[in-house]
Amino acid sequence: MKKKVVIFSNIFPEFEEKLKQQFEVVKINPKLGDVDQQIRDAVQYAHGMIGAGRRLGASQLETASQLEIISTVSVGYDNYDVAYLKQKGILLAHTPHVLTETTADTAFTLLVSAARRVVELDGWARAGHWQKTVSTQEFGVDIHAKTLGIIGLGNIGAAIARRGYYGFNMNVVYHGRQEKPEIANAFNARFLALDELLQQADFVVVTVDLNETTRHLLSNAQFAKMQKHAVLVNISRGAVIDEQALIHALQQKQIFAAGLDVFEHEPLQQSPLFELDNVVITPHIGSATLQTRQAMNQLAYDNLVAQLTGKKARYLVN
């Protein structure tokens, strides 16, 4: 008898077809109503799950009696109750590394766009305001040779630092749970306390995981320490930043600008951020290229199939 796999969000069609050749497959369909109830019904006799973007914990998985693995098509796993999965003996696999460079590209795109006011001035020009040579009112801030502060020097943070150091001759500083000389030495990065980094950096890029210690890591007190010409970029998780505090800082010109790919509540709707010219907003597109999403789907598929066929998933969280 084939093992049963639940697909709980859209994955690339070719991988769905491959799974159907190997397993009994059930796909959750939001058009059919209560998704959590669909999941509870489907996982009762399921052995594996694959997908992304849905919260999975006790409420959704209480009926699972033989679930071996959840394979998420993402590197982040804050949507999953890891403690509960461990208690139930359910493995969680994710997809690191394959999205590192693409996400770093997104971070630097936001950094450059916010610093040089690309989105704002695109709209300004299209609206017919370009009647003469631009004045100081339209000026941005320089990027080259400035100080780049990375909060969270993991794989993605290091890729961003590399772009700044080698591409823009930037001085790199970083903060995290611990010093990482084996990574930092490649671009002469200095480890600083968070407050020191905020005070010194011209550009602050947030790349930490979301957990209880990083939730609202940056709030009113932290924004008050940043330089008025500073640019903030967040590509980690929205809740790492106190969004209301950031809106206040942008409204009051405490910092120059922000580039945001993630938000406390997604999709972002009816937000004061939409009214601000000094913020660049993208709809959580950090890894959103065809090549990278293909690689993420491949790795998530490989993780799932390996674990369900007697091997071991390559990248396990727990």
CA–CA dist 22, 269 (Å, integer): 41
CB of 110 closer than 8 Å to CB of 233: yes
pLDDT mean across residues, the chain: 97
Query: Quick one: pLDDT at residue 51?
Result: 98
- Is residue 1 pLDDT above 90, yes or no? no
Cβ-based neighbours of 255, under 8 Å, separated by 6 or more: 223, 226, 227, 228, 229, 230, 231, 232, 249
Give the residue from 312, 258, 237, 303 showing the smallest Cα distance to 97.
303
Query: Quick one: pLDDT at residue 113?
Result: 98
**DSSP conformation class of 286:** T
C-alpha dihedral sign at 223, 174, 316, 12: positive
Residue 268: helix, strand or coil by DSSP?
coil
Q: pLDDT per residue over 222-258, tens digit each?
A: 999 999 999 999 999 999 999 999 999 999 999 999 9
- Is residue 54 pLDDT above 90, yes or no? yes
Percent with pLDDT over 70 in the chain: 100
What domains does the chain contain, in order, with CATH numbers? 4-97+291-308 (3.40.50.720), 100-281 (3.40.50.720)
User: Mind telling me the catalytic residues?
Assistant: 237, 266, 284
Q: pLDDT per residue over 173-218, tens digit each?
A: 999 999 999 999 999 999 999 999 999 999 999 999 999 999 999 9
C-alpha dihedral sign at 184, 189, 190, 195: negative
- Is residue 310 pLDDT above 90, yes or no? yes
Q: pLDDT per residue over 265-296, tens digit each?
A: 999 999 999 999 999 999 999 999 999 999 99
- The stretch 94-103 carries a mean pLDDT of 97
Two structure tokens written together for 100 = 């590192």
Query: Quick one: pLDDT at residue 26?
Result: 98
- Is residue 299 pLDDT above 90, yes or no? yes
- The stretch 20-35 carries a mean pLDDT of 97
179 CB-side CA count, 13 A: 8
Angle formed at CA 237 by CA 236 and CA 243, multiple of 5 degrees: 120
CB of 79 closer than 8 Å to CB of 55: yes
Q: pLDDT per residue over 29-50, tens digit each?
A: 999 999 999 999 999 999 999 9
Query: Quick one: pLDDT at residue 309?
Result: 97
